[in-house]
Amino acid sequence: MTDSAKETIRQTVRQEYSKIAQGKSSCCCGCTPSAQLAQNLGYSSDELALLPDGANLGLSCGNPTALADLKPGQVVLDLGSGGGIDVFIAACKVGPTGRAVGVDMTPDMVSKARASIAAFTKKTGLSNVEFRLGEIEHLPVADGTIDVVISNCVINLSPDKQQVWNEIARVLKPVGKACISDLALRKPLPENIARSAAALVSCVAGAVPVEQTLQMAKQAGLCSLKVEEHPYSIELAADCNDPLYRQVKESLPPGAKLSDYIISINLTAFKPERKEVLQ
């Protein structure tokens, strides 16, 4: 893919997510009410109660904060942090001695998330949250400074996924871990959907097979990979009035469902100790 084509994809995603941040578009990765969707994915009512208004935009396809088993004092980085749901929940888990940082390439998303920090601090007493503007392929984060990288239904949107995995490995501390929730392909999408902008923004067209994701993580130097596959309630989204999902659904072959092509995955990977890297 040329640099120009990659930038076109980023601009398309940025524009559509700006609309979501501004409330001008419905969610793209699920259309059940956002609180219900989050609970279906394993977020507890207590966790959701601590969120500032607007942090949960219904863009999740998993629960990486639960997958990460976060500990007090850890530094957590969320790739594609959106309204901040996983950053705020991670901040509660790592506590006042830890830190939760979100990175998003959409200025309106970063502004929305930053505007919620004061309400979060008032609710929790915590001042350990930060949101940075940047691309997940070029993270504004120093080498070896992160204990846990999380991401929720975002890497599928990147036009350069190998570079994202390289960046994850770069910013992690030795023995740090990545806990990623994302969508993956069961089988190749019909060509007309694979080329559809609507399918890209609705987190479908950018998905790749699980085996390809594992290979990219390994190539980045990560190890001890573990992946869990889950059915994703994508049909709920497909049956709602979201124009993105409706357009994708109408492009499917007769009798086909999105869940025939797409699954949800949770992937955990670790950065080796330095001495292992040097072997």
pLDDT digits (tens, 9 = 90+) for 89-108: 999 999 999 999 999 999 99
Band the pLDDT of 19: cuts 50, 70, 90.
confident
pLDDT digits (tens, 9 = 90+) for 40-50: 677 888 888 88
Q: How far apart are CA 12 and CA 6, in angstroms?
A: 10
Ordered structural domains, the chain, with CATH: 3-277 (3.40.50.150)
Higher pLDDT, 245 or 196: 196
Band the pLDDT of 239: cuts 50, 70, 90.
very low
